[in-house]
Structure 1
Amino acid sequence: MEPSAALVKLAKARPPFWKWQGGEFIHALAWAPHGHTVAAATLGGELVVLDGVTGKPRWHKPAAHSDSILWLAWHPRDPILATGGQDGVVRLWDAAKGSPLREWTPDPKKKWVEQGAWSFDGAYLAVAAGKSVTFWNAAGEAKGKTGEGKATVASIAWEPDLDAHRLLVAGYGGVQVWEPGNDEAVTGAEWSTSVLAAAWDLHGEWIAAGTGDGSMQVWRVGTEHTLRMGGYPGKVRELAWHADGKHLSTGGGPNVVCWSFDGEGPEGSAPIEWMGHSENVTAIAAHPTDPNRIASVGKEHLLFLWRIGDENPAGIRALPESPASTLAWKPDGSLLAAGCEDGGVVVFKIG
């Protein structure tokens, strides 16, 4: 179903702040912690750091990797950008100049490096390749490894606590929590399904996971308390905790479904369901400071801004050429970047 002409006209009334065009599908996108630049990586191995105001490249590496770049991660304190992908290599870049600092191959037997994430204090870089995760520091020194899961690691996320170094590792069969240097998982939850995406809430109390069987699994960390929210029309790959940790929004179809975790969690409660997209949601992103706001994009090229308490969209934007594959808010919430399937990065001003 195509969006109505009136809806498209309304969306096009607010053109992008700027746009940059790359060569292939944007697979990873993230603003630097200081908010002055945004980095984008493509499935063609292209890496660029763009000025947040002008959209012009600060530096650009057309062949940063010999194959697809699957992730990028800014160091939270130092001017370092980490990347990894299908060539099996992890590279650290000088984030200001674009010069390579160091590189290594986490596991020569496994080509793809599917996931990467810095801990919140920057002490560790977690890198997932195959069924396990290795831990490294910014000097490229190995600092431990998790055990192997039942299948390829699908998602990793650090607990949002500067004083803790606990990593969520998700894949087929459930989730586990690991600490660098430990030979066994600290805790975990088992589910008889494939986990496609998972994330901690901001207080480290809940872990939510989107699955391949059209459901969302929720676990209260360190307990046996788990919940299953089913009924999604498709696989749940999109999920985002809101800024206060009291709401979680998910994709898994054409609607954005928002669950309340205020109090004892969502058990027995009905979610908010925002209906605007005419095709499946491809990415969602919670506003970094306002807990009531979230953005979503769909296959029909439209970007919606939603606000808890409002049934209708709080804002609509149109992506010029192609659907978005990823979204990223500037840390202060003033700009929203969308990485598109045609290789474009589109940035909108958000009031």
Structure 2
Amino acid sequence: MKKDALTALRESLRDLHLRAGEPSYRTLAKQTRAMSHTTAHAVIRCDKLPRWGNVELVVEALNGDVTAFQALWAAARNAQPQREPDSVFEAESIVRAEGPQEPVLDLQDEQEELYRLEGGPLEGGHSGAVWSMAFHPDGRVLASASGDGTVRLWDTAEGKLLREPLRGHEGAVVAVAFHPDGGLLASGGSDQKVRLWDVVSGRPVGDPLQGHSGAVWSVAFHPYGRVLASSGIGGTVRLWDIRSGEPLREPVIGHDSFGWSLAFHPDRPVLANGGDDGMVRLWDTAEGKPLREPLRGHEGAVVAVAFHPDGGLLASGGDDESVRLWDLASGRSRIEPLIGHVGSVRSVAFHPGADLLASAGDDGTVRLWHLATGEQVGRPLVGHTGPVRAIAFHPHGHLLATAGADRKVRLWRSTQPPDHRVLYRRIDYLHAQLKAARGIQDAYPAMIQGLVASTGPALSEGEDGATGT
């Protein structure tokens, strides 16, 4: 009797587990450096189709053939009963899981192309999957974090590495974020540590921030720059004083197991945190307390969260293949879920000026959505040969960076004219930088006077102690 596709995948996973010596699920979870033992157990049991990202991690940890298992997973995914699509946009966007050597097919050729791939992948790329990316506030530098244990800084104008990769984590680097003034970079990894880097020199700043009991999956700076938040396996959220490197208070228990994603409100002490329990929690970081009841609606882990630049909306994406838009004033979904991805939604990002949201997923596509209607805008962006795990808009909005399991970092250029709102925000940023510089300049006289007062006569004496004439 011919086996069904899910049974074939299940038996292959269990056979691989057996050939690897049947490590315990806790041991297997530690080997993946990215999941809980319950998730590892669920993958091996395979009673229902696991998401591809988890299968990939388990197969890699057991030294299996990732390409062969991807084909088995895709066959099982395509063999599942197809539900009726919720909207015409979902119906037009259904695609099959990608094969290992070619991108997902685009089925919307008649639609306008909003972003166009700019050349090939950036030169000098990673040797492991890319998990996270962030643009420098001035847009000239792009940071990427990878399973190869490095953070790489790219010159976005030249498409080349700025310097040697930043090394220091003992394992995969899965989170990265720039400080609002651009001088510092934070990274989090499977070694349970958060590290700070000087962006100009590429050197570590201080000792690693330690306290997490599992991999650090997300890091985010408060918009004023004094506070850094981190979360990961264990479900805790930690707040750090970046000047001292010390925790600001006891960690917040955000979720039951995984705290996948973090995002700070653009101008309020509010932190959003998505987790394995399918909820988005909002925290008042000044008080260390929940702001309101969790946002509920996802039917699976919430893997990605992002605030709109104006602060009125929050986007979330998850394992249930949906993207949701939340009105922060009411705590309710603003519109129906955005449906189009096949597989987990790994990353979401708001355009800095336009009414546009980008999402990326395990189906290898990046999709663009209109905020008011929830409709897909333009054709899905295809070019990666595996799950897309990270996306980031340039501060001006004219570039979109994407990266994922295929280890490639790609830049896409907008085909649309500049948005005036982006220019206004850029002017505000430059004004803030100028104000800060003037503040430092104004402080110089007082600093010099203080130095003179503290040193006293020493400034007027020679090296031999004789008074100068």
TM-score (norm 2): 0.55
Identify the match of residue 143 of structure 1 among 224, 229, 248. 248
How far did 1:92 drift? 0.6
State how far apart, in whole Å, the 2-side matches of 1:230 and 1:97 are. Answer: 42
In structure 2, relative to structure 1, the CA distance for the partners of 1:97 and 1:324 (3 Å cut) is: same
**Distance apart, 1:183 and its partner CA:** 4.1
Specify which of 341, 349, 374 is matched with residue 240 of structure 1: 349
Give the 3 Å change call, closer, same or farther, for CA 48–159 of structure 1 in structure 2: same
The alpha carbon displacement at 1:27 in A equals 1.9
The structure with more radius of gyration: 2
Whole-angstrom CA distance in 1 between matches of 2:326 and 2:116: 41
Partners of 2:404 and 2:344 lie apart in 1 by 21
In the alignment, is residue 84 of structure 1 matched against residue 188 of structure 2? Answer: yes
How far apart are residue 182 of structure 1 and its match?
Answer: 2.2
Matching of residues 32-181 of structure 1 within 5 Å: 32-61=136-165, 63-107=167-211, 110-129=213-232, 130-139=234-243, 140-144=245-249, 145-161=251-267, 164-171=268-275, 172-181=277-286
Rounded to whole Å, the distance in 1 between the matches of 2:121 and 2:259 is: 37
Q: CA deviation at 1:98?
A: 0.9
User: Per the alignment, do residues 106 and 334 of structure 1 end up closer, same or farther by CA in structure 2, a change over 3 Å counting?
Assistant: same
- Secondary structure of the residue aligned to 1:24 is coil
Aligned to 1:184: 289
Q: What is the CA–CA distance in structure 1 between the aligned matches of 2:313 and 2:324, rounded to whole Å?
A: 10
Contact 2:186 2:194 (C-alpha < 8 Å) held by counterparts: yes
Give the Cα separation in 2 of the matches to 1:3 and 1:216: 21
Deviation larger for 90-99 or 333-342: 333-342
Q: Give the TM-score normalised by structure 1.
A: 0.71
Q: Which 5+ residue runs of structure 1 have no aligned equivalent?
A: 278-296, 303-320
Residue in structure 1 matching 2:395, options 320, 324, 331? 331
| 1:213-232 alignment, distance < 5 Å | 213-223=320-330, 225-226=332-333, 228-229=336-337, 232=340
CA distance in 2, matches of 1:42, 1:258: 27
Q: Which amino acid aligns with 1:65?
A: H
**What is the one-letter code of the residue matched to 1:235?**
S
Find the residue that maps to 1:204 and give its secondary structure: coil
What percentage of aligned pairs have identical amino acids? Answer: 23
2:311 maps to what in 1? Answer: 204
1:345 aligns with 2:409: yes
On the 8 A contact 1:67/1:85 being kept in 2, the answer is yes
Of the structure 1 ranges 244-253 and 62-71, higher mean CA displacement relative to structure 2 is found in 244-253
CA 1:336–1:148 in structure 2 vs 1: closer, same or farther (change >3 Å)?
closer
Q: Deviations over 1:120-162 (max 9, x none)?
A: 121211111321111112221211332342331122111111x
Cα pair 1:173 1:191 within 8 Å, conserved: yes
CA gap 1:55/1:206 in 2 versus in 1, 3 angstroms: closer
Aligned CA distance change for structure 1 residues 100 and 237 (closer, same or farther; 3 Å): closer
Which residue type is aligned with residue 189 of structure 2?
Answer: G
Q: Secondary structure in 2 aligned to 1:60?
A: coil
Q: Which residue of 1 aligns with 2:371?
A: 260
More helix by share: 2
Instruction: Tell me the amino acid that sits aligned with residue 392 of structure 2.
Output: A
Q: Take 1:222 and 1:13, find their aligned partners in 2: how far apart are those partners?
A: 37
Whether the aligned pair in 1 keeps the contact of 2:139 and 2:394 (CA below 8 Å) is yes
**Comparing 341-350 and 149-158, the one that deviates more:** 341-350
What is the distance in 1 between the residues matched to 2:186 and 2:405?
22
Partner of 2:39: none
Residue 221 of structure 1: CA displacement?
1.9
For 1:245 and 1:347, locate their aligned partners in 2 and report how far apart those are by CA, in whole Å: 19
Aligned equivalents of 1:258, 1:142: Cα separation in 2: 38
> Matches of 2:133 and 2:116 in 1, distance apart?
23
Q: CA-atom RMSD, angstroms?
A: 3.4
Aligned residues of 2:123 and 2:161 also touching (Cα < 8 A): no
Distance in 1 separating the partners of 2:337 and 2:116: 35
Give the aligned residue type for 2:262.
Answer: I
- How many residues are treated as equivalent by the alignment? 297
- CA shift for structure 1 position 119: 1.2
Structure 2 residue runs of 5 or longer lacking an equivalent are: 1-95, 97-103, 416-469
CA shift at 1:276, angstroms?
A: 4.2
